[in-house]
Each structure stands twice: as C-alpha cells, then as structure tokens.
Amino acid sequence: MFLYQVINNQEIVILGYRGYNGFVIIPQKIQDMPVTGLSAYAFSGGWGRDQVMESMEQEMRYCDEEGNPIWPDPEELPPVVSCETLKEIYLPSSIKKIGNYAFYNCYELLRIECFSSIEDLGSGLFTGCTGVRTLDIHMVDGPRSCLKVILSELRQELYVNYYTGHGKARLLFPEMFEESVEHTPARIIIREMHGCGHMYRYCFDLAEFQFHKYDGLFPHLQIQESERVIASLVVNRLYTPLQLLEHDKEIYEAYVKDHMESIAKQALKEDLDMFYWFAGEYGENQEVFDSMVDMAAKRDNPELSGRLMDLRRRRFPARKRVFSL
C-alpha cells in the first residue's frame, strides 16, 4: 500500500510504501488525481524519513497498488519498504518531481524505470544506491530530459534501455570514479578521474543525448576498459542500432571480426535472443558458427539449441553424396 498526500485537491505526492516485496509500481492516478511526485526521503530510512512522516501525519492517506483509497487497521500495517528492501521501482509519466534523498541508501535497488519528463530531481537522490545496474527510460518529446542528471548520479557500470517512438537502444555506461591524491610539496589535493565512464556521461547537447558522441568514444573505451565491458557495449549497440552511423557501425564490426569468441560469450551471458541474433548475423563461417552452437549447448537450453541447429541446417546445408560406378 502507498502512503500519500493530496496537494491543493489537484495532485498527489507519494510519501512511502508498505508491502511484502520490494518491487514497487507507482500508480499514475489516485482518486482521479495525477501522481506528480515523491516526497523527500520517500524510500530511505532514518531520521529524515521519520521527520517527513511526523510532519505529514494529519494529512497522510493510504491506497492500494491500483490507487484505490483504503483505511487500514494501524495494527495490521505491512512493513515499510525502504533501503535494503526496495529492489525495483517504476515511475509513471505523471511524475514531475522527486524530493531530496528519496532513495538514500537503497543499496539493494537494482532497477529503475521512468520517463524523461521528470523536471525536478532532488539532491542526493541516489546516494548509496550502489546496486543499481539497469535504467529503463522512456523518452518523451519536450524541452528537457532528466537522463543527464540521473547518469551523473549513478556512477557505477550501468545498462540503459533507451526507449523512443522510433525504436530502442541498449546502452552501456562504464563505471566512473574519482580519487583524491595529495600533492605534498604543493600542499594541494588533486582529484583524478579513472575509467572513461565520465566521458560517456558527457554525450549530451544541453539535455539531449547524442548517439554520435557516444559511439565516437569507442577508441577511448578500447584503451581504458576491460574486454568484457568492450564486448558488452559493442554487441548491445549493434543489436539495437538506433541512430548508429554507418561509419561507427563499421568500426564496431571490425572489432567483432577480431573478437568473435569474447563477444559471443558476453551476448550469451546477457540475453539469449541477442545471442541467437549475433550467431545469425555474424556466424557466417561454419567453424565459428559451430563454436557458438557448442557454447549454447553448455547452457542446457534446448529451445535455443534447437533454434541454432535449425539455422545451421539452413545456412550450411549438407551436400548430397554422389556415387559413381
């Protein structure tokens, strides 16, 4: 159940959530009013959340997961979902504002789904959210996108599913982290940035994401990141080539040609459909294709193995034997 507050009899702000699992879907409407925000400390723990709850006690209301108002028995309330109990969260397109520290120390949060039309993201929003690995963002036409701000807050290795009306892109943003190094003779502290994750987070023109800038960073990626990260970025980008320029595609495919095995292994690890696509698209050599069939067989997935064997028969048909006397 959701705890919420009605603002000016026009809109709803979510104050928190109580339940028995950590997969939270915020409703678009409650009492026919749009849900436009999350309060400060909505899913965090500690004194900050306690203060918000105390200040809203007289105005606090409850509703179920579908947004229908309810009046629960105080003695039978489910546990609060916050910090280590929040696993995934979906924010509807009606959300315009998220308060300060709304997800503070939600270190078990793995996935966030939202729309690009959030206008106001509070400070310290994802502080302590070191477990987030996936962001699903639906791009909405408008003058502003919140993607740039979210990426700057989430500095760990992050997979972004970027949805538009023209298609989808699967983007990998490498980890970025800073290190403070003391320069004793000069009596100063120098901040050093490691990895190229910060460069990928600068691929914007104002708030609009620029795919050509993202793809143009590939030479830096090859120097600074591991083979696993490179393979993942390449195969995901080729699998979902939204706004991928032909020049950049050729560069990615040249890397594929020299690293077939590592990319095939990464694709198999991430997504079985992507692995099947990769085998069909780049397994033109029978020896290479057979090695991918062997990889799939080790996963003990009969459906995938069957699809690959069917594709193999069509691509490399057995030659008929000819007998002569």
Amino acid at 120: D
Question: pLDDT digits over 46-82, tens only?
Answer: 788 888 888 877 788 999 999 999 999 988 899 999 9
**How large is the angle between the packed helices 246-258 and 227-239, nearest 10 degrees?**
130
- Say whether pLDDT at 266 is over 80: yes
- Say whether pLDDT at 322 is over 70: no
Q: What share of the chain is helix, strand, coil (3-state, %, to 5)?
A: 35, 25, 40
% the chain with pLDDT above 70? 92
As a whole number, mean pLDDT of residues 203-208 equals 92
Amino acid at 237: R
- Say whether pLDDT at 26 is over 60: yes
Give the pLDDT band (50/70/90) at residue 177: confident
Question: pLDDT digits over 210-243, tens only?
Answer: 999 999 999 999 999 999 999 999 999 999 999 9
Cβ contacts of 145 within 8 Å, gap of 6 or more: 116, 117, 139, 207, 208, 209
Angle among Cα 250, 251, 252 to the nearest 5 degrees reads 90
Amino acid at 298: K
Nearest in space to 157 (alpha carbons), one of 103, 194, 192: 194
- Say whether pLDDT at 180 is over 60: no
- Say whether pLDDT at 115 is over 70: yes
What does the block give as tokens for 201? 């987070």
